[in-house]
């Protein structure tokens, strides 16, 4: 029988959760072996060796996992601070500072946050996790998506990892990091679950993630994460009421990626200009399932008439205003829309240049 040869090698790089292990590895028969303790502890586990029974006990706990996750991700989370001009005059620049949160998505200083965080903000300063303060510039702000892109003059930053939107499921753990209330609470953490996905509020342009992770003023613009430390959304709003508890919302990662990609390609989000006012059914307004489309209420577009009911756009069914905007987000090529409508009882299709 032929024997096998094992080689210890130090030039092979092993990364666990984005962190490089410093231990040498063993290569044997085209397989790579890594020390159990090195991998396990890098993932937040306790490793215990029992010499009597010659057993290794690896214990993962939620506390250790989340603590390790926060430690790994915090360098990608920033605070955003500035003066708010509430009056529109120069005296307003001396108002007390206001702040929010943001997420580094590119190593050369690009940050994503909420549009409402940076709106009317003067003397914008970005505070990194290590306390470094740098001036920031708002490159683009999109009120419809409630997202904005901020740039600082620094390289070598750690960008956040983006989750696959298909892995965001109701019931999964959600972790929020941000700067609530006070700058002394930078990168503090709350934990909950994803309560709902594809949530369409009556006033939301796109669909949102609902979470019960506690979100307070200052958390806006910060990350909502999964247990891998990946970005699933940007915390944006919450319901505040005596009768409502821990109901917060985040802009999903696919909308975040869409806005970033559109900005990088065009300098802004490209949206069709149809020159129409649309209205959704009463069922859609209160969140009931419905097969009804959305109705054209006002139009100056010669191809669309008042009373037309839009049932799909570019092959995607439309049942609400949020459905319409999501379909545009997913399919609009910057030139035309293929729209299915019901007009006077007949189903027709029109191709609109916009």
Q: Is residue 208 part of a domain?
A: yes
| Domain count along the chain | 3
Catalytic residue annotation:
116, 146, 220
Query: Is 333 exposed, middle or buried, given 0-12, 13-18 or 19+ CB atoms closer than 10 A?
Result: exposed
Residue-wise DSSP of 217-275: TT-TT-EEE-TTSEEEEEEEEEEEETTEEEEEEEEEHHHHHHHHHHHHHHSS-------
Q: Is residue 33 part of a domain?
A: yes
pLDDT of residue 218: 85
CATH number assigned to the domain comprising residue 93: 2.40.10.120
Q: Is residue 1 part of a domain?
A: no
**CA 24 to CA 9: how far, in whole Å?**
6
**CA 186 to CA 129: how far, in whole Å?**
8
Output the tens digit of pLDDT for each of the chain's 354 residues: 445 555 556 667 777 666 677 777 777 777 777 777 776 766 667 777 778 877 777 766 667 778 888 889 999 999 999 987 665 554 444 456 778 999 999 999 999 999 999 998 889 999 999 999 999 999 999 999 999 999 999 999 999 999 999 999 999 999 999 988 777 788 889 999 999 998 888 778 999 999 999 888 888 999 999 988 999 999 997 655 445 667 889 999 999 999 999 999 999 999 999 999 999 999 998 888 899 999 999 999 999 999 999 999 999 999 999 999 999 999 998 889 999 999 999 999 999 988
Within this chain, do residues 115 and 85 fall inside the same structural domain, yes or no?
A: yes
Domain range for 35: 6-59
pLDDT of residue 240: 55
């Amino acid at each position: 029988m032929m024997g096998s040869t094992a080689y210890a090698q130090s030039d092979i790089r092993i990364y666990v959760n984005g962190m490089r292990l410093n231990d040498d590895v063993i290569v044997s028969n085209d397989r790579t072996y890594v020390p159990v303790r090195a991998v396990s502890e890098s993932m937040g586990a306790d490793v215990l060796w029992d010499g009597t029974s010659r057993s290794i006990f690896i214990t993962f706990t939620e506390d250790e996992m989340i603590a390790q996750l926060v430690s790994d991700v915090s360098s990608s989370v920033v605070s955003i601070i500035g003066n708010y001009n509430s009056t529109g005059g120069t005296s307003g620049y001396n108002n007390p500072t206001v702040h929010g949160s943001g997420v580094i998505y590119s190593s050369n200083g690009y940050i994503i946050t909420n549009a409402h965080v940076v709106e009317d903000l003067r003397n914008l300063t970005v505070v990194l996790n290590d306390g470094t303060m740098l001036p920031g510039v708002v490159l683009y702000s999109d009120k419809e998506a409630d997202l904005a892109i901020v740039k600082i003059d620094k390289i070598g930053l750690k960008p956040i990892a983006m989750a696959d939107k298909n892995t965001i499921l109701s019931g999964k753990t959600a972790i929020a990091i941000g700067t609530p209330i006070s700058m002394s609470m930078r990168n503090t953490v709350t934990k909950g679950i994803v309560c709902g996905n594809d949530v369409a509020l009556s006033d939301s342009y796109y669909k949102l993630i609902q979470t019960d992770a506690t979100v307070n003023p200052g958390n806006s613009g910060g990350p909502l994460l999964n247990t891998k430390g990946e970005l699933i959304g940007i915390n944006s709003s919450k319901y505040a009421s005596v009768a409502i508890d821990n109901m917060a919302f985040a802009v999903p990662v696919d909308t975040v990626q869409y806005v970033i990609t559109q900005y990088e390609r065009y300098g802004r989000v490209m949206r069709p200009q149809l020159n129409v006012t649309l209205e959704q059914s009463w069922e859609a307004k209160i969140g009931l399932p419905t097969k009804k489309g959305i109705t054209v209420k006002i139009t100056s577009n010669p191809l669309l008439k008042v009373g037309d009911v839009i049932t799909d756009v570019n092959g995607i069914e439309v049942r609400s205003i949020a459905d319409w905007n999501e379909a545009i987000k997913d399919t609009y090529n910057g030139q035309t829309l293929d729209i299915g409508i019901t007009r006077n009882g007949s189903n027709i299709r029109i191709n609109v240049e916009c």
